[in-house]
Structure 1
């Protein structure tokens, strides 16, 4: 009985908060740094797959059918379309797995926000495909392609802005604004030009955003670690 009591006493003593305020601050900083490391995904896995999909997929569409229907590189129609859809599906899978691994460790409102936000993406694009399918059948090929691309990219920009508003993330919101603006510019420029704008500015913007977000999160992690060490 005495031995059991002693063990419990030692165990309870280990769980007590530090008596020294500096030690308590150090413990908090260390826990914050560890939480930031675990709950901050490598954002390259979010944005680079989408950026490469847009850069390559829309780039091939531009080479197949540029302004005024000019074909810069001879290829069958199925090739750029199949490439774009395959890369988009792969990007969706990669970002979905990354998000699931990250937010699977989170509970409460943050987890619900992530789940509902992901549902908004799925239902949003399902609605776009359902509506645009019958409409595009009555349009010339170049305008039908512009309709599909313009609406899809526009929805992507809107969802990014919504995500930025949900998490109060300025960079994510700015990326959504950028995507929306270049989409408007591309649609006004017309068929062919839209694919080029989305490929270079959209895909390139995604690649740059991935690097910016990654550096931002690493900087935050370094600051938390430095704070932890300075309190020792």
Structure 2
């Protein structure tokens, strides 16, 4: 007799959402950091070299927390919105609304939780605002052309930002069905202690080298 299927592990990610910007800049910055550290090891074994190495490490850490670390990961019952040094853990069943502007926004009541790693570019936001602010006097021919253009865009592909919102809405619905009659839980913030510690130690060490 076969055993019943086991329930999904709530601690296992069900969807990892990649950042929509900053990846190229981030990896370029990390490559520059590695290059500078290599230069110091080979050519600058001195106090000035130590200062340069610590400056490079600090630069690399800032690139990491600002460009590469921010992202979102969904679990069975909650979603983690990673930002620079503080992460939001939001119960999916508690989410009331999801939207994407320049950041990914999750609303729980009147409180907004954001992920800076996922969002529309400034250019996309300007284009969207122009479409929303279309003058009332626009001719019907122009209006039909704009509608046709939007329809063609929808047919070609769904933007990744739209996919993120759609997928999260699906996970919210699933979480609500599973937790029906139960409390959704409270959203909370968690500091990224490894990054906080690394930034603090490196900054202090760099400042000390300036006094040498």
Normalising by the residue count of structure 1, what TM-score does the alignment of the two structures yield? 0.30
Larger Rg: 1
Normalising by the residue count of structure 2, what TM-score does the alignment of the two structures yield? 0.32
